């Protein structure tokens, strides 16, 4: 109910270029350019200035974008309250999440919603956590399941979002089947300090998680290889190239020559998985139901693990 051109401006404020805004919103660059020009005309404000080969927000533009945060939140709030009060049904619902969350949490959620609300059109997008936030801003999705990143620019108290912790997913270590420790059930990071490690490229989502785990125990690992997909990580380990960290949620499903060990010791590295929505929308019955389903699934995963560990 907020003018889509203002939404576009907010997306631009996030990514800084017309092209990226177009990619994120689903418009063409020309359309974004025209929209922002029109927005300035209608409001009678100069929101953008040329800056080199790109554009930059003016002070007025930054002011407007920052001030629109509570406006969006209030609209979401009103919408949610009206849906709740009137017992109305939503037509479209967009979900976003990163790979293992998409598989383990989002897929069951979408399936459940499809049965409880047959008229609802559910769309699931697999995307990196940072992109999930952008997609929330762009209103392409309404709920995201992501890994909480303290290093990220989206803090707990960001005025644009509200977040709920779903579960803490521990990191395991995966080692080749012919490794001396392969017969063990658990290992400590110190024991594996001298191993060649496999990680993601610096700057990626999990790299900071990786380094954080090791700095916590005062060890600097030797990074031997880099991989993006967990599949690749596992394959590298199976080929005996080194050892790696693997979140418990990521399945090993019968990989050759790979063993998963629980990490013990004073620090057990985990990644925190949270659900994020646009601020104000959390009271919506659909969001509430979804969060409930997610929480049930998360709890089931946790209790399954407890039973496994016995």
Listed ranges 18-26, 169-177, 178-186, 237-245: which one lies at the site for DNA (CB under 7 A): 18-26
Rule CB under 8 A: is residue 289 a binding residue for a copy of itself? no
Between 58 and 211, name the residue whose CB sits nearer to a copy of itself: 58
Site residues for a copy of itself, window 184-203 (CB under 8 A)? Answer: none
Pairwise CA distance, residues 141 & 123, whole Å: 8
Q: Which residues contact 195 (CB under 8 A, 6 or more apart)?
A: 175, 221, 222, 242, 243
Shortest distance, position 59 Cβ to a copy of itself, whole Å = 6
Pairwise CA distance, residues 224 & 226, whole Å: 7
Between 13 and 259, name the residue whose CB sits nearer to a copy of itself: 13
Among 2, 6, 29, 302, contact with DNA (rule: CB under 7 A) = 29
Shortest distance, position 90 Cβ to a copy of itself, whole Å = 5
Structure tokens at 82: 């009206």
Shortest distance, position 47 Cβ to a copy of itself, whole Å = 9
Pairwise CA distance, residues 8 & 21, whole Å: 7
Shortest distance, position 153 Cβ to DNA, whole Å = 19
User: If contact means CB under 5 to 8 A according to the sort of partner, which of DNA, a copy of itself, none does residue 59 touch?
Assistant: a copy of itself
Rule CB under 7 A: is residue 38 a binding residue for DNA? yes
Structure tokens at 25: 């919103």
User: If contact means CB under 5 to 8 A according to the sort of partner, which of DNA, a copy of itself, none does residue 55 touch?
Assistant: DNA
Total site size for a copy of itself, rule CB under 8 A? 31
Half-sphere exposure of 176 (CA within 13 A, CB side): 14
Pairwise CA distance, residues 113 & 227, whole Å: 34
Site residues for DNA, window 42-81 (CB under 7 A)? Answer: 48, 50, 52-55
Pairwise CA distance, residues 27 & 7, whole Å: 12
Among 2, 6, 14, 19, contact with DNA (rule: CB under 7 A) = 19
| Class of residue 273 by CB neighbours under 10 A (exposed 0-12, middle 13-18, buried 19+) | buried
Residue 187 is inside which H or E element, if any? Answer: strand 186-188
Rule CB under 8 A: is residue 32 a binding residue for a copy of itself? no
Pairwise CA distance, residues 53 & 23, whole Å: 18
Rule CB under 8 A: is residue 44 a binding residue for a copy of itself? yes
Rule CB under 8 A: is residue 55 a binding residue for a copy of itself? no
Among 26, 50, 53, 67, contact with a copy of itself (rule: CB under 8 A) = 67
| Class of residue 151 by CB neighbours under 10 A (exposed 0-12, middle 13-18, buried 19+) | exposed
The footprint of DNA (CB under 7 A) covers 4, 16-19, 26-31, 33-38, 48, 50, 52-55
């Amino acid at each position: 109910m907020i003018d889509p051109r203002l939404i576009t401006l907010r997306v631009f404020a996030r990514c800084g270029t017309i092209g990226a805004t177009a990619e994120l919103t689903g418009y063409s660059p020309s359309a974004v350019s025209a929209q922002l020009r029109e927005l300035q005309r209608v409001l009678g404000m100069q929101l953008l200035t040329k800056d080199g080969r790109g554009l930059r927000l003016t002070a007025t533009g930054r002011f407007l974008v920052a001030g629109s945060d509570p406006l969006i939140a209030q609209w979401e709030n009103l919408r949610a309250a009206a849906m709740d009060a009137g017992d109305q049904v939503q037509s479209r619902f967009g979900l976003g999440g990163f790979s293992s969350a998409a598989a383990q949490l989002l897929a069951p959620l979408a399936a459940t919603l499809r049965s409880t609300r047959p008229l609802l059109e559910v769309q699931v997008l697999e995307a990196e956590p940072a992109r999930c936030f952008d997609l929330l801003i762009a209103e392409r999705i309404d709920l995201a399941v992501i890994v909480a990143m303290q290093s990220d620019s989206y803090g707990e108290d960001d005025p644009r979002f509200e977040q709920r912790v779903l579960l803490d997913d521990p990191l395991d270590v995966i080692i080749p089947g012919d490794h001396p420790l392969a017969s063990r059930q658990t290992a400590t990071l110190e024991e594996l300090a001298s191993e060649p490690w496999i990680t993601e490229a610096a700057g990626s989502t999990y790299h900071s998680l990786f380094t954080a785990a090791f700095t916590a125990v005062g060890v600097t690992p030797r990074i031997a290889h880099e991989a993006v997909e967990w599949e690749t990580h596992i394959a590298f380990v199976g080929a005996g190239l080194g050892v790696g960290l693997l979140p418990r949620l990521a399945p090993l499903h019968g990989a050759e020559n790979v063993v998963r060990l629980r990490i013990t010791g004073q620090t057990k590295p985990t990644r925190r998985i949270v659900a994020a929505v646009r601020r104000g929308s959390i009271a919506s019955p659909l969001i509430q139901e979804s969060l409930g389903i997610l929480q049930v699934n998360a709890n089931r995963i946790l209790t399954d693990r407890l039973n496994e560990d016995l």
